[in-house]
Amino acid sequence: MCGIFGIVVKEEQVLGGTLLEASRRLAYRGYDSVGCAVIDRAGRIDLRKDAGKIEEVNDRLNFADMAGVRGMAQLRWATFGAPSQPNAQPHLDSDGDLVGAHNGNIVNHVALREQFIASGFTVRGTNDGESCVHAVERYVDQGDSVVSSIRKAARDLEGDYAFVIARAGAESPDEALYAVKQGSGLVVGIGDGFCCVSSDLPSILPLTNQVVRVRDGEMVTLHHDRFEIRRVEDGAVVDRESELFTEGMDAAEKGGYEHFMLKEIHEQPKAAEDLLHWLSASPHVDPFVSSIEAARHIYFVGCGTSYNACVLGAALFNRLAMKPAVPVLAPVFRETFAHTLSSEDVVVLVSQSGETKDVLNALNSARGSGATILGILNVLGSTLMHASDHYLLLACGYEISVPATKTFLNQTLLFYYLADRLRRTGPGERWDDVPSRIEETIRRTDGFSQEVAALLKPFHEMYYLGYGLTLGMAMEGALKLKEVSYAHCEGMLSAEFKHGPLSAVYDGYPVLFITAPDDAKMMINHVNEVTCRGGRAIIVGREDDLLRKSAHDYLPLPAVSHELSAILAAVPLQLISYYMSVSKGHNPDFPRNLSKTLTVD
Ligand code: AGP
């Protein structure tokens, strides 16, 4: 969801290739416009930008030959202003000696834009990133230094954002690049003869693994040989050491798979192993569990896939820990629950990225209530991580593909692990076996999943039904199918189907049931309600004779516990979506209109 990158080098050189490569590395976040700017030693700005995909725009504008000592690149995903050349970033100020680009949202942009126009500034587009540049221009024009102007501008800008800016012009030579972080990600990279800054690590790691994390409310000044972090509020310089990032970039490569999505599905056994290892060794687990144990009310809050994990997590808590937890869609949280929160309550915010704006809004609505804020996230250093009283990591490494796969499986495993620790009934899970069970599920269901994908492909709408623990799984399977195949699929409770949607069934109409062992008897009724009306029942679940006899197609899962069986169903559902997407000629890694990290309202 938008991304910025900037670099300062010692000697004048062709920077276009570096900017282009950085843009490609940011592309997984989703975008519809791309732009680059470089400043040469004489202070001239070369700005090229347009709406479109990186390669198309590059074919037209040839970023690769842009040369200078400072450069920046931006990928934009439209929120304020249509995808167009003037709205693409970076932006210039009125007289063209400031150039900058942002990521995030400036929520008071419309009011600011009116002020800038009334002051006679040259405002070229309707995008909020342009407001960042004019906000700095306002103070530079009054004679403030660039650092002071940026600090003052940051106080005028409302919202969650990060921006990068540079001053050019022969009259006031400046060799630095500046960046501000206020709510969106920002990381600095330190290399031999250069410093760079980016929204996230994948665009920095090919250049250097010496990194510095910038925090909210801070700005950074980059020179080719040094950096300086200071607080926006009072200008105080912050002493922060760089750190060596040791996880290799191979994590961001496809490793022989055609798509990241398929690679990430196959990485699930390893991701589960890493999660279980992290949980067994981490000092974060006990305080997290104790907070939940002591709570009066527990809320599991997330969006999209993370919300579906919350639905399954709440069912696991009810079943094993005898602790009721309420799964809540993040944008619903404030109005429905936040006003009644107290210090006895716990809000568990679940987000792969840790940057989803709807989730951060829910978090902000819980602040001040005294409730304990717990985070479950995959991205270390994310806003959610810093804002939580305690957090747990999903330990999945990079997830590049827009559809969440391994992070979802680990979210559900993490909920199961927590419920298992608080378990009041039954034997505990055989956790050591879990990674190999996931491996076995991939092996056993891959071929069947291809067959089911072929069977479903001609249908433009269908249902996935679950019951008990598999309700959240049915919702997730349906979301995944919609996301990458563009077919409509509704995930819902199988017991509810007869209360209305059953009328959709006709001869051959496909309904996919996801069942866990203890619910097989109940599910047989729901399956028969569909098949006796001519519907085609496809069942995903542990082997069961009666269920098999009721179904047209059966996708068997390994013989594991009721709880693990519900979780393992994620694997064939992911594979069905993947194969359907590819067979329709779509790119499952980057579904149209979607973005990996949704940092907007
Ligand atoms: C998942 O496949 C989707 N891309 C989407 O629903 C996602 O789960 C949602 O936007 C929440 O993201 P988060 O986990 O990073 O908060």
What is the atom index within ligand 1 of the atom nearest the CA of 595? 4
- H/E stretch holding 36 reads strand 33-39
Q: Is the pLDDT of residue 1 over 60?
A: no
| 192 has a pLDDT exceeding 90 | yes
Mean pLDDT of 90-117: 94
Tell me the pLDDT band of 29, cut-offs 50, 70 and 90: low
pLDDT for residue 201 = 83
Q: In terms of residues, how long is the chain?
A: 601
* 484 has a pLDDT exceeding 60: yes
> Hunting for tokens 């890493």 — which residue is that?
274
Look at residue 173 in the predicted model and tell me its pLDDT. 65
Output the average pLDDT for the chain: 93
Q: What is the per-residue pLDDT across 50-78, written as a single tens digit (0 to 9) for each?
A: 999 899 999 999 999 999 999 999 999 77
Least confident of 79-83, 424-428, 565-569: 79-83
Q: Is the CB–ligand 1 distance for residue 403 below 6 Å? A: yes
Average pLDDT over residues 203-208: 91
Give the bridge partners for 461, in sequence order. 488
Residue type, 31: Y
Please indicate whether residue 410, judged by its CB atom, sits closer than 6 Å to ligand 1. Answer: no
Q: Residue 251 above 70 pLDDT? A: no
**pLDDT the model gives residue 170:** 64
The whole-number average pLDDT for the span 449-466 is 97
CA of 322 to the centre of ligand 1 (A): 28
pLDDT in tens, 520-567: 999 999 999 999 999 999 999 999 999 999 999 999 999 999 999 999
In the predicted structure, residue 252 carries a pLDDT above the cut 60: no
Per-residue pLDDT, averaged over 384-400, amounts to 90
Instruction: Identify the pLDDT of residue 185.
Output: 84
What's the mean pLDDT in 290-303? 97
pLDDT digits (tens, 9 = 90+) for 222-234: 999 999 999 999 9
Ligand 1, atom nearest to 305 Cα = 8
pTM: 0.71
Q: Are 548 and 232 in contact (CB under 8 A)?
A: no
What integer pLDDT is reported at residue 468 of this predicted model?
96
Residue 522 pLDDT: 94
Alpha carbon distances (Å) from 547 to 425, 461, 527, 533: 27, 24, 8, 17
- Report d(CA 155, CA 235) in Å as an integer: 12
For residue 596, the ligand 1 atom closest to its alpha carbon is: 4
Residue 133's SS3 state is: helix
Ligand 1 contact via 303 beta carbon (within 6 Å): yes
Q: In the predicted model, what is the mean pLDDT of residues 285-314?
A: 97
Give the integer Cα–Cα distance in Å for 193 and 73: 19
Closest CA to 323 of 332, 331, 314: 314
Contact status, residue 230 vs residue 219, Cβ threshold 8 Å: yes
Nearest CA to ligand 1 atom 5: 304
**Candidate from 214-223, 307-316, 422-431 with smallest mean pLDDT:** 422-431
Report residue 353's pLDDT band, with 50, 70 and 90 as the boundaries.
Answer: very high
Residue 409 makes CB contacts below 8 A (sequence gap 6+) with 268, 271, 272, 438, 567, 570, 571
The amino acid present at 446, given as its one-letter code, is: D
Q: Identify which of 356, 379, 392, 480 to mutate to test ligand 1's pocket (most ligand atoms within 8 A of the CB).
A: 356
Whether 275 lines ligand 1, by a CB cut-off of 6 Å, is: no
Least confident of 104-108, 144-148, 480-484, 493-497: 104-108
Query: Average pLDDT of 381-410?
Result: 91
Query: Residues with Cβ < 8 Å from 15, sequence gap 6 or more?
Result: 7, 9, 38, 66, 67, 68, 71
Distance separating alpha carbons of residues 431 and 438, to the nearest angstrom: 12
pLDDT for residue 60: 95
From 301, 307, 311, 353, the mutation candidate for ligand 1 (largest count of ligand atoms within 8 A of CB) is 353
Across residues 122-135, what is the average pLDDT? 95
State yes or no: pLDDT of 249 exceeds 60. Answer: no
Give the model's pLDDT for residue 171: 63
* 328 vs 183, higher pLDDT: 328
Residue entry with tokens 């409730």: 371
How far, in Å, from the CA of 437 to the mean position of ligand 1?
25
Residue percentage of the chain with pLDDT more than 90: 83
Q: Mean pLDDT over residues 275-300, rounded?
A: 94
pLDDT for 571 equals: 98
What is the structure's pLDDT at 183? Answer: 83
In the three-class reduction of DSSP (H, G, I as helix; E, B as strand; rest coil), residue 428 is classed as: coil
CA gap 581, 472 in Å, rounded: 22
Q: pLDDT-derived band of residue 248, with 50, 70 and 90 as boundaries? A: low
556 in ligand 1 pocket by Cβ < 6 Å?
no
pLDDT at 112 over 60: yes
H helices of 94-191, in order, are 109-118, 128-141, 146-156
Q: Which residues contact 141 (CB under 8 A, 6 or more apart)?
A: none
Can you tell me the mean pLDDT for 300-314? Answer: 98
